């Protein structure tokens, strides 16, 4: 009978088809005593299985503790989420190195205070338990710093790092609403997880962003009289003036025109500097395109850069800070469309106008600067995009003296009084009876002569003062004693710079250096050179 009981129990434990056979045996041994023996045997085996299970679990835990204490760590992982819910036990979301498979670990309640999103942590050999945070001494954060570009979907973002664009998973602790274009994020290239936003902003390859530039209009001389009014308009709008709101006024774009070197870009920078004083946030941003802003050899990258620039401008403006977007050399970026063979330039100009429109709609102040308005597409400067046109001319007599006085250091050894020297140099440069330095032959037979004053700009005067100072310093070092600067040294430096400009003139670039009338076409250029003992001679460029 004992053999029959064990046979029945074995069949019941084995299950499957053996159960039916066991029932047949039970039917043969239906006595109550046999059934009692079968039940007792099943209970004994259950107790034995439970004991073995407890012992096995104890052995596993002991092995884990031994591995944790004596074996090298087999798992390193990044923390992507820390959760300390009031109803459930705390847990971590981690991504082990070399994988993109996230896992969840239960942790003691106090551990939540010691672990942060983005930390590098050590796990047990089986990867099921947290050992602790891998501390680098200064608790430096792991991963690399990348630039956030945009959201791909609800869980993924685009990150630019070391010249490459990557798709990264957004960690649970990184909220999508706190990410804006050009923000910096910390991410792990191995796991492909972006952990957190870090302080600062990326300096995009296509844009230069300057916060609170120190430039001011008061530091410039010879500027057009409309600039103070434009600065006031921008400042009032930045402050949210009730006066402007009552008139429903909002300044649009501004076009700066004039020859090269007359202060267009400097004035635009100064406008941004003036706005920092009236900014409600205490900040104002100056944004300038870098070299190659819109030009790329890769298909589609130009449009991507322009889209990114538009997003960056909107993000800078989001907290109410004034933003001045300066497009220098607008004649190159917004060139007239419709010319044969310029389909790419036409597409770029159209896309750039869209960027300007979006910037204006976001409250960004847009300044276009050019010395060739005849080459700028008419749609780019139409009313609505451009509400004010400021013409920068060459400095007159008084402006020339003021510019020279501003650039001449106070400690410079002078041959005469400071005011006498700057005034004398200005009068010499604007001598109405001065001989021409070059003449331009226009198509149609008209010849126009240009004197020294026709080449004078703020940039030329600043460069001339620096050249005179260098010559004086060299004379001081080689001849001994202080070398003084007078009218002759300043005028001579200007003449040298202008002579270099004249020597490089050609029919193709004359319009960029000289004040020609719209529609005038240059046929040839001649320069005047003085010959010792033989007077002046006209030479063809």
pLDDT value at residue 278: 84
- Of 16-30, 48-62, 176-190, 315-329, the range with the lowest mean pLDDT is 16-30
User: What pLDDT is recorded for position 333?
Assistant: 87
What confidence score (pLDDT) does residue 326 get? 94
Residue corresponding to tokens 């126009």: 448
In the predicted model, what is the mean pLDDT of the chain? 82
Alpha-carbon gap, residue 510 to 209, rounded angstroms: 33
pLDDT at 87: 57
pLDDT at 367: 96
Across residues 206-218, what is the average pLDDT? Answer: 86
Task: Decide if pLDDT at 31 tops 90.
Answer: no
Q: Domains in the chain, start-ordered, CATH in brackets? A: 2-69 (no CATH), 72-202 (2.30.30.140), 207-391 (3.40.50.300), 397-540 (no CATH)
Pair type for strands 285-289 and 323-327: parallel
Task: pLDDT band for 4, please (50, 70, 90 cuts).
Answer: low
Confidence at residue 136, expressed as pLDDT on a 0 to 100 scale: 47
Closest CA to 7 of 51, 16, 19, 17: 19
Higher pLDDT, 319 or 454: 454
Q: What is the pLDDT of residues 63-73, one digit of tens each?
A: 766 765 565 55
Give the residue-averaged pLDDT of 373-397.
92
Question: CB–CB of 295/213 below 8 Å?
Answer: no
Whether the pLDDT of residue 206 is over 80: the answer is no
- Average pLDDT, stretch 475-493? 86
Q: State how far the Cα of 495 lies from the Cα of 145, in Å rounded to an integer.
A: 52
The answer to whether the predicted template modeling score (pTM) of the entire model surpasses 0.85 is no
**Residue 1 clears pLDDT 80, i.e. is over it:** no
CA atoms within 13 A of residue 423's CA, in its CB half-sphere: 5
Of 36-45, 139-148, 156-165, 267-276, the poorest mean pLDDT is in 139-148
For the chain, give the percent of residues with pLDDT over 90: 29
- Residue 286, pLDDT > 60, answer yes
DSSP 8-state secondary structure symbol assigned to residue 130: E
Tell me what the mean pLDDT of segment 268-275 comes to.
93
Question: pLDDT of 491-534, one tens digit each?
Answer: 999 999 999 999 999 998 888 888 887 778 899 999 888 766 55
Tokens of 16: 């499957």
N- to C-terminal Cα separation, the chain: 127
The helix/strand/coil state of 159 is strand
Residue 140 confidence (pLDDT) above 50: no
Among 86, 81, 145, 89, smallest CA distance to 115 is for 81
- What's the pLDDT tens digit per position in 520-531? 889 999 988 876
User: Residue 138 pLDDT > 50, yes or no?
Assistant: no
Cα–Cα distance measured from residue 82 to residue 402, given in angstroms and rounded to the nearest whole number: 64
120-134 residue pLDDT tens: 788 877 777 787 777
Q: What is the pLDDT of residue 83?
A: 76
pLDDT of residue 304: 75
Mean pLDDT of the 462-481 span: 88
Query: Which burial class, exposed, middle or buried, applies to 83 when counting CB atoms under 10 A from its CB (0-12, 13-18, 19+)?
Result: middle
* For residues 365-370, average pLDDT: 95
| pLDDT interval class at 88 (50, 70, 90) | low
Residue indicated by tokens 């770029």: 348
């Amino acid at each position: 009978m004992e053999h029959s009981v064990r046979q029945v129990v074995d069949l019941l434990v084995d299950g499957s088809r053996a159960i039916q056979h066991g029932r047949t045996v039970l039917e043969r041994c239906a006595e109550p005593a046999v059934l009692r023996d079968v039940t007792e045997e099943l209970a004994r085996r259950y107790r034995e299985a439970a004991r073995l299970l407890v012992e096995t679990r104890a052995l596993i835990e002991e092995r884990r503790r031994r591995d944790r204490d004596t074996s090298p760590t087999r798992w390193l992982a990044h923390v992507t989420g820390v959760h300390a819910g009031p109803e459930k036990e705390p847990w971590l979301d981690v991504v082990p190195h070399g994988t993109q498979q996230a896992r969840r670990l239960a942790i003691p309640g106090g551990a939540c205070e010691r672990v942060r999103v983005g930390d590098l942590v050590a796990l047990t050999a089986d990867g099921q338990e947290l050992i602790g945070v891998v501390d680098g001494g200064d608790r430096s954060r792991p991963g690399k710093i990348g630039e956030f570009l945009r959201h791909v979907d609800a869980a993924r973002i685009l990150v630019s790092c070391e010249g490459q664009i990557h798709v990264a998973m957004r960690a649970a602790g990184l909220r999508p609403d706190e990410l804006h274009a050009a923000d910096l994020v910390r991410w792990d290239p191995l796991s492909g997880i972006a952990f957190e936003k870090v302080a600062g902003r990326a300096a995009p390859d296509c844009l230069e962003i300057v916060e609170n530039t120190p430039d001011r209009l008061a530091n410039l001389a010879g500027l057009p009289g409309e600039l103070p009014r434009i600065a006031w308009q921008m400042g009032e709008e930045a402050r949210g003036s009730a006066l402007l709101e009552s008139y429903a006024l909002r300044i649009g774009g501004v076009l700066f025109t004039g020859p090269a070197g007359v202060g267009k870009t400097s004035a635009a920078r100064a406008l941004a500097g003036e706005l920092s004083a009236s900014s409600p946030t205490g900040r104002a941003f100056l944004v300038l395109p870098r070299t190659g802003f819109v030009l790329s050899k890769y298909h589609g990258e130009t449009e991507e850069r322009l889209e990114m620039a538009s997003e960056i401008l909107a993000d800078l403006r989001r907290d109410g800070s004034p933003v001045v977007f300066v497009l220098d050399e607008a004649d190159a970026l917004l060139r007239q469309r419709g010319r044969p063979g310029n389909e790419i330039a036409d597409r770029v100009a159209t896309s750039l106008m869209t960027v300007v429109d979006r910037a204006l709609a976001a409250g960004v102040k847009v300044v276009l600067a050019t010395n060739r308005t005849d080459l700028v597409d008419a749609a780019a400067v139409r009313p609505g995009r451009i509400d004010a046109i400021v013409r920068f001319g060459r400095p007159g007599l008084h402006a020339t003296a003021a510019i020279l006085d501003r650039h001449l250091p106070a400690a410079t050894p002078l041959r005469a009084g400071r005011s006498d020297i700057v005034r004398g140099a200005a009068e010499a440069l604007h001598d109405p009876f001065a001989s021409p330095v070059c003449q331009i032959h226009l198509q149609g037979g008209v010849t126009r002569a240009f004197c020294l004053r026709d080449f004078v700009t703020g940039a030329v005067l600043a460069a001339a003062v620096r050249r005179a100072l260098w010559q004086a310093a060299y004379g001081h070092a080689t001849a001994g004693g202080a070398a003084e600067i007078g009218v002759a040294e300043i005028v001579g430096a200007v003449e040298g710079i202008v002579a270099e400009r004249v020597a490089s003139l050609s029919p193709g670039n004359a319009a960029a250096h000289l004040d020609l009338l719209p529609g005038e076409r240059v046929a040839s250029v001649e320069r005047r050179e003085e010959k010792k003992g033989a007077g002046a001679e006209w030479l063809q460029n």
